[in-house]
Amino acid sequence: MDNILEFKNIEKHFNLEAGLFSSFGRFVYAVNDVSISIQRGTTYGLVGESGCGKTTTARMAVGLYTPNKGNIVYYAQNGKIFDSGNMNKQDLNELRGKIKYIFQDPSKSLNPRMNIFQILTSGYHHSSLWPGKMKARIEAEKIMLDVGLATEDLLRRPAEFSGGQRQRISIARALIMKPEFIICDEVVSALDVSIQSQILNLLLGLREKYKLSILFIAHDLTVTTFFSDRIGVMYRGRIVEEGSALEIAGNRVHPYTRLLYNSIPSWKDEKHEEYGMGDNEVSNSSEFDSGVALKGCPFAHRCKFKIEICTEQIPELRSISSGHFSACFRNGEI
């Protein structure tokens, strides 16, 4: 199976200070040397705590951020290759027609002054794919039915819908331009549990119907394990473990991955109960990464099994089994 999207050793840092007259030179290292390959027609789940760099990584894929290092390469269905290191404005606009982003909070991403038809077609209208208002209306009605809403809803405004319905509208907006790839950024985290399952099942059905590839960002491992074909576990801007969803759930190797799964009662592994949250929990990467690039293993300050090399060198992803990788100097020993 061929790849549709590749992140190649990408890095992204932000100046720690803000404002016109702020100093320059102290940075938050949000993404550090990340390489990910996503196969066409599959769902790749990217998980980790808040502030680990998941959303920053995703936003670089659609050109909202530019990598400081590395390249992002997209392989379109028509054979065209888009490389972040060699794209002009026209290429970027074309790429954004092929990759669509679904945001976490639909109440903030839907313009309250527009009706639903205007919301669905505002971006479409300014693209080279615009078929005219009459055909766009027919397409909008079809998309509304596909996401479980009524065609009459096109004349209503976002405030008239529930949170789950608004997320369906966001999904419809992403699909109307017939993208090849969608990015789901915490799309169910703001919804009730009963509504979450409905949206996830809807996305699964739409993936098959529209032949979509998906980057699924979440901090909920239960949801991600259910929804994804492959999972990358991210911590402080680095991928610390990667493998198929079944392999990660059944044979988690990295101490951080074990910690995440042990925080879920239904997934707790009694053999590794020692992987508790501990006193060294951090809320985001800036607490440790500000001003200097990360030295040593990103998880060393929380790991009960660290050895001397862990604080001096950054471990590389090493193969555990076919398609399963972990970045730990003590893989297989703990």
Overall residue count recorded for the chain in this entry: 334
**Residue 313 gets which letter from DSSP?**
S
**Residue 202 gets which letter from DSSP?**
H
Both structure tokens of 114: 């527009």
Which has the minimum average pLDDT: 30-39, 205-214, 260-269, 295-304?
Answer: 260-269
For residues 334 and 110, which has the higher predicted lDDT (pLDDT)? Answer: 110
The model's pTM is 0.89
Both structure tokens of 113: 């002054």
Q: Rounded to whole angstroms, what are the CA distances from 130 to 68, 137, 168?
A: 34, 11, 22
Q: pLDDT band at residue 288, thresholds of 50, 70 and 90? A: very low
Instruction: Please provide residue 315's backbone torsions phi and psi, each rounded to the nearest 5 degrees.
Output: -70, 140
- Cβ 244 vs Cβ 325: under 8 Å: no
Quick one: pLDDT at residue 79?
93
Could you report the per-residue pLDDT of 73-99, keeping only the tens digit for each? 999 999 999 999 899 999 999 999 999
Domain segments of the chain as ranges: 253-326
Q: Which residues of 64-102 are buried (b: 16+ CB within 10 A; e: fewer)?
A: ebebeebebbbbbeeeeebebeebeeebeebbbbbbbbb
For residues 204 and 267, which has the higher predicted lDDT (pLDDT)? Answer: 204
Average pLDDT, the chain: 87
Quick one: pLDDT at residue 281?
47
Quick one: pLDDT at residue 280?
43
- Cβ 233 vs Cβ 256: under 8 Å: yes
Burial degree of 236 (CB within 10 A; 0-12, 13-18, 19+): buried
Residue 6 pairs with which residues in a beta bridge?
Answer: 37, 73
Could you report the per-residue pLDDT of 190-234, keeping only the tens digit for each? 788 889 999 999 999 999 999 999 999 998 888 899 899 999 999
Edge-to-edge strand ranges of the sheet holding 230-235: 99-102, 181-185, 213-218, 43-47, 230-235, 238-244, 324-326, 318-321
Residues of the chain with pLDDT > 90, as a percent, come to 60
pLDDT at 278 over 70: no
Residue located via tokens 């492959």: 230
Quick one: pLDDT at residue 127?
86
**Residue 264 gets which letter from DSSP?**
S
Q: pLDDT band at residue 25, thresholds of 50, 70 and 90? A: low
